[in-house]
A and B are shown apart, each in its own frame.
Chain A
Amino acid sequence: MAGTGSSTKVVRTTKIDAALLGKMIYYLKLTREAESRIENVLYRQGKIVGGVYVGRGQEAIGVGAALTMRAGDVTFPCHRDFSVFLIRGFTLADMMANWLARGDSPTRGRENTLHIGNVDLGIFPIISPLGATLPVACGAAMVLKRRGKGNVALVHFGEGTTSLGHVHEAMNFAAVQKLPVIFICNNNQFAYSTPVEKQYAVESLAVRGPAYGMPGESVDGTDVLAVFGAVERGNARARAGKGPTFLECVTLRMTGHSAHDAAEYVPEKMKQTWAKKDPIQRLEKLILDKKILSRKQIEELEGKVREEVDAAIADAEARPLPPGKEAIEGVYCDTECWWSKKRL
Chain B
Amino acid sequence: MPLLTYLEAIRQGLWEEMERDPSVFVIGEDIGVYGGAFKVTAGMLEEFGEDRVIDTPISESAIVGAAIGAALMGMRPVVEMQFMDFIACGFDQIVNMAAKLHYRWGPAVPMVIRGPSGAGVHGGPYHSQSNEMWFVHTPGLKVVAPASAYDAKGLIKSAIRDNNPVIFYEHKFLYRRIKEDVPDQDYVVPIGKAVVRRPGTDISVITYGAMVWTALEAASELEKEGLTLEVVDLRSLLPYDEETVLASTRKCSKVILLHEDTRTGGMGGELAAVIAEKAFEALDGPIVRVTAPDTPVPFAPPLEEYFLPNTQKVMEAARRLAAY
The chain A residues found within 8 Å of chain B, CB to CB, are 74, 106-107, 110-111, 115-119, 124-125, 127-129, 132, 134-144, 146, 153, 165-166, 169-170, 172-173, 176, 330-334, 337, 339-340, 344
Contact = CB atoms under 8 A, between A and B. Distances in A.
Contacts of A127: 96-97, 100
A132 to B, nearest CB: 5
A116 B104 CA distance: 8
A141 B164 contact: no
23 contacts: A115-B105, A119-B107, A132-B96, A134-B65, A135-B64, A135-B65, A136-B66, A136-B72, A138-B66, A139-B67, A139-B73, A140-B72, A142-B54, A172-B62, A173-B57, A173-B59, A173-B66, A330-B106, A331-B140, A332-B140, A332-B164, A333-B109, A339-B106
Contact of B69 (A116, A117, A142, A331): A142
Interface in B277-313: none
B201 interface: no
B164 A334 contact: yes
Interface residues of B, number: 39
B70 A139 contact: yes
Interface of B: 51, 54, 56-57, 59, 61-75, 77, 92-93, 96-97, 100, 102-109, 139-140, 142, 163-164
B72 A331 contact: no
Given A107-B104, A139-B65, A334 B72 contact: no
Contacts of B142: 332
B97 A136 contact: yes
A106 B57 CA distance: 36
A159 B93 CA distance: 20
Which of B73, B92, B102 has most chain A Cβ within 10 Å?
A: B73
Contacts of A170: 61-62, 65
Contacts of B109: 333
B105 A129 contact: no
A253 B92 CA distance: 27
A153 B66 CA distance: 12
B104 A135 contact: no
A143 to B, nearest CB: 4
Contacts of A111: 104-105
Contact of A135 (B51, B61, B72, B102): B61
Contacts of B56: 173, 176
A109 to B, nearest CB: 11
